[in-house]
């Protein structure tokens, strides 16, 4: 794989709105930006493409004044700048619209836009401000009622208010962090129109996304990031293909070699048929999903974050209502309680370790018996056998090498890796018939990742059916017998792992196949 270099800049290239050179930013244990260069021309839409954790948001937060870079230089319109706060960035004409809006629900659109401004100093000239806001919205083709209260607005309208807020403050550069993640398709089209009308006036837009289709539709150029480094800088979208972008974005590191013993899959343990569900915001998250997992088989779900895979795990484990059929070992469990699903021998490694997978202020013992306190030997009638619980906890702590002073230590004091070992110990020790593993190795170091992988494979040999949901494509490829690719809540492709083609999977994960299909 060769990185695609940016075309050499011509002498008469348009002046740069942003010119960032050699940006380095590290967080404890992570190098989020490793000598990143990024430039934005005046009047262009420049897409920043990358998987979750690639370092896109870090870079943009640095540009918007939220973080200070460890190294590197930033020029805005040719002037070197150092921002101490977002206020400084806005003063320099650079505004960012975050994924999570910062609006006051009970106030009107105009009031939200004026909030925090130095002028008007004391009295609000409401009528005049409303007219100004209306004119600004009109100019960029945004339908918004300046007098509406925020809570009355749809998510798309709220996003327009955020954009107006920045424009009202005179932003010439707008950074949009995954703006379409919350939008319906026609709202996204309207947003694109607005962005185009802004660039026609000479304003510039940075568009953060991990959806290939959108990037090609709206952006003039694209910069691709992976694991903190730029893999393609300022590539013109005109000449780029989806396959190129997918490969640049997903990449492929050297796979660790794990011996996967051939296991003949047994009977179907998990059967999901035509399941649909909504996410926490009430939007469709799963659309007519069907898949199955057999005993002794690992089925990997390859998807970019936010495409419904978290909801899929919750639906199967009884934590989220759905429509459709879910059968575990032949028994219908759709919309049954989480307790019923646990009783059917389903283990679950949840995405959120610290507030779902464990209770932070309870002891190691209490956390380790979470799934078995109802049964003997921990339960004795309506009472619990403290001594037995502590013995079990002690044994698990030993055999899974959970580093903690004692079994009475509170779970919140464990490091991320040890907390994950605690959850694995609890979920795997019962030799479950079905394991739903969501991001089982997120945040672990290389050695720990390998031991988790070995545990999963030994469970597979033992005959457990495993549904592996991970954003690490390498992990999915290394462990799975079959791979289902999920995009926007749909299964868009199924591959036996022997025939898996990374390029094709990457394309499907990012919606790259949508146009080809239609």
Partner 1 sequence: MTIRLEPRIAAPRWLSAAATIGAVVVALVISGAIIGFVGGDPIRSYLHILNASFGSIGVLSDTLVKATPLILTGLACALAFRMRLWNIGAEGQFLLGAWGATAVVLSGVLPKGTPAVVVLPLMMAAGMLAGAIWGLIPGVLRARLGVNEIITTLMLNYVALFWIQFWVFGPWSESGFQQTKTFPPEAWLPRLSDFATTVPAFGGLTVHLGLIFGLVAAGIVWLILERSRWGYEIRLIGDCPRAARYAGIDIARNLIVVFAVSGALAGLAGMSEVAGSVHRLQDRISPGYGFTAIIIAYLAKFHPGRVVVASILFGALILAGREIQPSGVPAMIQGIILFALIVSDTLVRYRVRIERTPPPAPATAEPAVPG
Work out which of 331, 352, 398, 515 binds partner 1, going by CB under 8 A: 352
Q: Cβ distance 454 to 258 under 8 Å?
A: yes
For residue 271, give the DSSP letter: E
Q: What is the largest CA-CA distance in the chain?
A: 83
SS3 for 370-396 is CCCCCCCCCEECCEECHHHHHHHHHHH
Task: Please provide the distance, in angstroms rounded to a whole number, between the alpha carbons at the two ends of the chain.
Answer: 30
Between 329 and 370, name the residue whose CB sits nearer to partner 1: 370
Element at 314 (helix H, strand E) = helix 309-316
Strand 30-41 relative to strand 16-27, pairing: antiparallel
Q: How far apart are CA 175 and CA 60, in angstroms?
A: 7
Q: Does 350 bind partner 1 (CB under 8 A)?
A: yes
Provide the mask over 311-330, with x wherever binding to partner 1 is found by CB under 8 A and - wherever it is not: ------xxx-----------
Minimum separation from the CB atom of position 432 to partner 1 (A): 14
Q: Does 444 bind partner 1 (CB under 8 A)?
A: no
Q: Does 337 bind partner 1 (CB under 8 A)?
A: yes
Q: Does 339 bind partner 1 (CB under 8 A)?
A: yes
Q: What are the tokens at 141?
A: 């083709």
- Binding residues for partner 1, rule CB under 8 A, total 43
Q: Does 398 bind partner 1 (CB under 8 A)?
A: no
Q: Which residues contact 355 (CB under 8 A, 6 or more apart)?
A: none
- For 104-122, b/e burial (b = at least 16 CB within 10 A) is eeeebbbbbbbeeeeeeee
The stretch near partner 1 (CB under 8 A) out of 47-55, 120-128, 299-307, 341-349 is 341-349
Q: Does 445 bind partner 1 (CB under 8 A)?
A: no
Q: How far apart are CA 45 and CA 221, in angstroms?
A: 7
Interacting positions 189-248 with partner 1 (CB under 8 A)? none
Among 480, 494, 495, 488, CA closest to 510: 488
Q: Does 16 bind partner 1 (CB under 8 A)?
A: no
Q: Does 376 bind partner 1 (CB under 8 A)?
A: no
The stretch near partner 1 (CB under 8 A) out of 168-176, 362-370, 459-467, 489-497 is 362-370
Work out which of 358, 441, 470, 480 binds partner 1, going by CB under 8 A: 358
Q: Does 439 bind partner 1 (CB under 8 A)?
A: no
Q: Does 403 bind partner 1 (CB under 8 A)?
A: yes
Question: Which residue bears the tokens 């490829």?
Answer: 477
Q: Does 184 bind partner 1 (CB under 8 A)?
A: no
Q: What are the tokens at 457?
A: 């494979």
Q: Does 342 bind partner 1 (CB under 8 A)?
A: yes
Q: Does 251 bind partner 1 (CB under 8 A)?
A: no
Q: How far apart are CA 320 and CA 337, in angstroms?
A: 9
Q: Does 344 bind partner 1 (CB under 8 A)?
A: no
The stretch near partner 1 (CB under 8 A) out of 15-23, 121-129, 279-287, 363-371 is 363-371
Q: Which residues contact 31 (CB under 8 A, 6 or more apart)?
A: 24, 25, 228
Residue 223 bridge partners (DSSP): 48
The stretch near partner 1 (CB under 8 A) out of 52-60, 113-121, 402-410, 496-504 is 402-410
Question: Which residue bears the tokens 């942003």?
Answer: 18
Q: Does 418 bind partner 1 (CB under 8 A)?
A: yes
Minimum separation from the CB atom of position 404 to partner 1 (A): 6
Q: Does 257 bind partner 1 (CB under 8 A)?
A: no
Between 200 and 380, name the residue whose CB sits nearer to partner 1: 380
Minimum separation from the CB atom of position 350 to partner 1 (A): 6
Between 427 and 484, name the residue whose CB sits nearer to partner 1: 427
Determine how many CB atoms are found less than 10 A away from the CB of residue 265: 18
Q: Cβ distance 304 to 474 under 8 Å?
A: no
Q: Does 420 bind partner 1 (CB under 8 A)?
A: no
Between 241 and 415, name the residue whose CB sits nearer to partner 1: 415
Among 361, 430, 442, CA closest to 396: 430
Which residues contribute to the site for partner 1 (CB under 8 A)? 317-319, 337-343, 348, 350, 352, 355-362, 366, 369-371, 373-374, 379, 382-384, 386, 402-405, 409-410, 413-415, 417-418
């Amino acid at each position: 794989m060769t990185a695609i270099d940016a075309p050499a800049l011509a002498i008469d290239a348009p002046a740069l709105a942003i010119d960032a050179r050699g940006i380095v930013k590290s967080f404890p244990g992570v190098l989020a930006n490793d000598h990143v260069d990024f430039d934005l021309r005046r009047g262009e839409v420049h897409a920043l493409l990358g998987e979750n954790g690639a370092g896109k948001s870090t870079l943009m937060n640095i540009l918007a004044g939220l973080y200070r870079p460890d190294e590197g230089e930033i020029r805005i319109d040719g002037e070197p700048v150092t921002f101490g706060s977002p206020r400084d960035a806005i003063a320099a004409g650079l505004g960012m619209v975050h994924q999570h809006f910062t609006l006051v629900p009970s106030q009107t659109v105009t009031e939200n836009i004026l909030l925090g401004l130095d002028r008007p100093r004391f009295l609000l000239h409401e009528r005049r401000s409303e007219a100004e806001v209306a004119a600004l919205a009109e100019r960029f083709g945004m339908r918004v009622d300046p007098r509406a209260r925020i809570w009355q607005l749809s998510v798309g309208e709220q996003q327009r208010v955020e954009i107006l807020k920045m424009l009202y403050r005179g932003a010439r550069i707008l950074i949009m962090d995954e703006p379409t993640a919350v939008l319906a398709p026609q709202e996204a089209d309207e947003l694109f129109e607005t962005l185009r009308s802004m660039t026609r006036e000479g304003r510039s837009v940075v568009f953060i996304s991990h959806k290939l289709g959108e990037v090609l539709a709206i952006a003039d150029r694209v910069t691709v990031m992976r694991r903190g480094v730029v893999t393609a800088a300022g590539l013109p979208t005109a000449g780029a293909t989806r396959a190129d972008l997918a490969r640049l974005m997903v990449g492929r590191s050297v796979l660790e070699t794990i011996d996967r013993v051939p296991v003949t899959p047994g009977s179907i343990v998990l059967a999901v048929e035509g399941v649909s569900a909504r996410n926490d915001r009430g939007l469709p998250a799963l659309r007519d999903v069907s898949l199955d997992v057999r005993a002794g088989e690992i089925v990997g779900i390859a998807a970019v974050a936010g495409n419904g895979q978290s909801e899929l795990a919750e639906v199967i484990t009884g934590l989220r209502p759905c429509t459709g059929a879910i059968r575990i070992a032949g028994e219908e469990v759709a919309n049954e309680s989480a307790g019923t699903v646990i009783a059917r021998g389903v283990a679950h490694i949840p995405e959120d370790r610290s507030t779902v997978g464990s209770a932070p202020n309870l002891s190691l013992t209490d956390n380790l018996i979470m799934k078995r306190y109802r049964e003997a030997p921990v339960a004795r009638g309506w009472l619990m056998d403290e001594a037995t619980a502590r013995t079990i906890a002690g044994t698990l702590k030993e055999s899974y090498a959970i580093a903690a002073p004692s079994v009475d230590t509170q779970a919140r004091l464990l490091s991320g890796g040890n907390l994950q070992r605690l959850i694995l110990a609890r979920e795997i020790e019962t030799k479950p018939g079905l394991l739903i593993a969501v991001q089982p190795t997120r945040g672990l170091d290389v050695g720990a990742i390998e031991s988790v992988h070995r545990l999963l494979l030994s469970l597979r040999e033992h005959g457990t059916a495993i549904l592996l949901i991970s954003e690490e494509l390498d992990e999915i490829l290394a462990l799975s017998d079959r791979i289902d690719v999920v995009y926007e809540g749909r299964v868009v492709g199924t591959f036996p792992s022997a025939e898996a083609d990374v390029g094709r999977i990457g394309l499907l994960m990012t919606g790259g196949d949508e146009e080809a299909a239609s």
